[in-house]
């Protein structure tokens, strides 16, 4: 059950996947598909082809949470629960009850981290009070991080996953939901800055992987790329829905924009991202990006997202 992928020393494969694990009655068809996701990961593990680390978003339901056990990963960490406290930052509280605001979170963060490698220094936080918009406020979204013991790599490696506020699906217009996005980006910056290792100037490699919900917003894209640049990091790759992929053929530059491995869509349409910050003396190269859990022969997917796997090489 705990078979792991054989790979060269210093190599890491990381999958981020929004599994759309909405609870009943919103996700009537989800239990069977969530089980298929878990079983497919388990089958890949049995043949040594599974990602070594997996981060999930929207794992809200019991069936979604069960992916961690059913897939067979040895080490697991969960993000904030529905009862986890939200930090107070003095933000104005959103109050449109008909849009899901002001009721308090009814769902967890939906974040899970699964790893073949031993994990330690698990950290988690909910986003601050007021750092949400619309229906997203019904989930206690936040950040989950853990260090992994990667063979052949002496510098600590921390995996950070998160799920930012949606755009149009939030029910709030772009100027409103973008405020929530910016506050969540501020929370991510604070989460990293508050790490004890950073306070002591200890070198840490961080790989961020999650659903950053660009929401087709150039302003969101500018904010995220600005954050990555400010942290002296680089974007590995990004992924979005295929219906925008044709634009990459006519305008390839808008699907790369500084990414190590080009996205399949223009970046403002890419929700699922992986990016890296690392000390100057650590050489970390994204070798390949792969789309996982794509369309079957009938053109169907197991979620409204597909998985983004990136293979990294430490040198």
6 lies in some domain: no
Compute the average pLDDT of residues 233-239: 97
pLDDT at 4: 55
Read off the CATH number of the domain in which 182 is found: 3.60.10.10
The 10s digit of each residue's pLDDT in 241-287 is 888 888 898 888 899 888 999 999 999 999 999 999 999 999 999 99
pLDDT band at 5 (very low <50, low <70, confident <90, very high): low
Alpha carbons 227 and 218: distance in angstroms, whole number: 14
31 lies in some domain: yes
Compute the average pLDDT of residues 138-164: 96
132 lies in some domain: yes
The 10s digit of each residue's pLDDT in 13-69 is 999 999 999 887 776 789 999 999 999 999 999 999 999 999 999 999 999 999 999
pLDDT band at 199 (very low <50, low <70, confident <90, very high): low
173 lies in some domain: yes
285 lies in some domain: yes
State the residue range of the domain holding 254.
Answer: 11-314
Alpha carbons 221 and 218: distance in angstroms, whole number: 5
For residue 163, the tally of other CB atoms under 10 A from its CB is 29
Number of H-type helices and E-type strands within the chain = 7, 12
Which element (helix H / strand E) includes 208?
strand 205-211
4 lies in some domain: no
Beta strand ranges found along 49-99 (DSSP E): 53-59, 75-78
> Looking at the predicted structure, is the pLDDT value of residue 94 above 90?
no
Q: Flag whether the pTM goes above 0.75.
A: yes
2 lies in some domain: no
115 lies in some domain: yes
Short-list 306, 26, 55, 48, CA closest to 139: 26
Domains held by the chain: number: 1
Alpha carbons 299 and 311: distance in angstroms, whole number: 26
The 10s digit of each residue's pLDDT in 278-308 is 999 999 999 999 999 998 888 899 999 999 9
């Amino acid at each position: 059950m705990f078979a792991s992928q054989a790979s060269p020393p210093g190599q890491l494969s990381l999958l981020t996947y929004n599994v759309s694990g909405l609870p009943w009655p919103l996700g009537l068809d989800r239990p069977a598909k969530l089980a298929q996701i878990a079983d497919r990961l388990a089958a890949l593990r049995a043949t040594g082809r599974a990602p070594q680390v997996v981060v999930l978003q929207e794992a809200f339901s019991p069936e979604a949470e069960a992916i961690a056990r059913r897939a067979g990963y040895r080490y697991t960490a969960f993000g904030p629960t529905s009862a986890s406290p939200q930090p107070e930052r003095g933000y104005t509280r959103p109050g449109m009850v008909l849009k899901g605001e002001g009721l308090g979170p009814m769902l967890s963060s939906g974040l899970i981290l699964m790893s073949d490698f031993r994990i330690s220094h698990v950290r988690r936080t909910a986003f601050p009070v007021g750092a949400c918009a619309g229906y997203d406020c019904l989930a206690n979204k936040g950040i989950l991080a853990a260090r992994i013991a990667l063979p052949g790599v002496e510098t600590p490696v921390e995996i950070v996953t998160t799920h930012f506020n949606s755009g149009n699906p939030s029910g709030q217009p772009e100027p409103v939901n973008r405020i929530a996005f910016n506050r969540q980006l501020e929370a991510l910056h604070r989460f990293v800055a508050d790490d004890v290792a950073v306070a002591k100037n200890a070198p840490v490699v961080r790989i961020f992987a999650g659903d950053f919900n660009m929401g087709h917003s150039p302003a969101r894209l500018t904010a995220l790329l600005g954050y990555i640049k400010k942290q002296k990091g680089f974007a590995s790759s990004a992924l979005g829905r295929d219906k925008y992929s044709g634009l990459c053929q006519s305008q390839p530059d808008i699907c790369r924009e500084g990414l190590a491995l080009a996205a399949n869509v223009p970046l403002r349409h890419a929700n699922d991202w992986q990016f890296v910050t690392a000390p100057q003396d650590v050489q970390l190269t994204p070798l390949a990006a792969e789309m996982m859990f794509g369309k079957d022969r009938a053109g169907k997917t197991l979620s409204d997202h597909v998985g983004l796997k990136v293979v990294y090489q430490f040198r």
